Structure 1
Amino acid sequence: MKWNLRMVAAQRDIWRPTELLAAFRAVGFSPSLSKTSALWGGNPVTVRLDDLDMICAALECTVEDLMRAEPVATHVESSEGEVAQAAGEVPSPRSGPVRPLPRRDGPRRLMPPN
């Protein structure tokens, strides 16, 4: 999903988190400035449905305006599919849920902290 809050706000002539906060308060939604800045600054991990409803009311938009679905495809999967199609085979879908991979960019912790 792509979070389009800044684009939707810009279409309503809102350019700063403090202006967005004022628009929120006009409809009775009063998050903290830090929460508003977090929504403004990037892709939130979670958004409560009640909050999403109030954001849409403040910006006079729909959920579809705020969140756009983006297809998720990797280069490896597409090349495997092309090879299978060239050979006349139908690529089989992966079985089971997609799980995130753990990060390996830092030292591994062997014992929990005291």
Structure 2
Amino acid sequence: MLIFRPIEFVVMPYQLIDNIEKKRYEFRVDEHTPIIEYIKTKDKIYLTHTEVPKGLEGKGIGKELVRQALEDIKAKGLTLVPLCPFVALFIKRNPEYKALVLKGINIA
């Protein structure tokens, strides 16, 4: 008799890099570089685009990248404007980060 168990993905502890020159947060995963592009002003950060290379999709790396980026934003005291749909969905599913979002922006 075969027993099927769900596959669990374990996210390895990746180091968040704030690549200021390229205006993006990133991880280095082997030869891949998942990214979140941003625009930063004095007190606000606009997360505009998240990209995870095809070879890394479905492993939770994008979620971990967003989580670490949001923790960095919180530590720096910046106000977040989540223009990227992936980031907005992450915040919707993790409402503890809603306090970072600019007042008046609805994350439904």
Q: TM-score, length-normalised on structure 1?
A: 0.24
User: Whose RCO is larger (CA < 8 A, sep 6+)?
Assistant: 1
- Greater share of strand residues, 1 or 2? 2
- Greater share of helix residues, 1 or 2? 1
Q: TM-score, length-normalised on structure 2?
A: 0.25
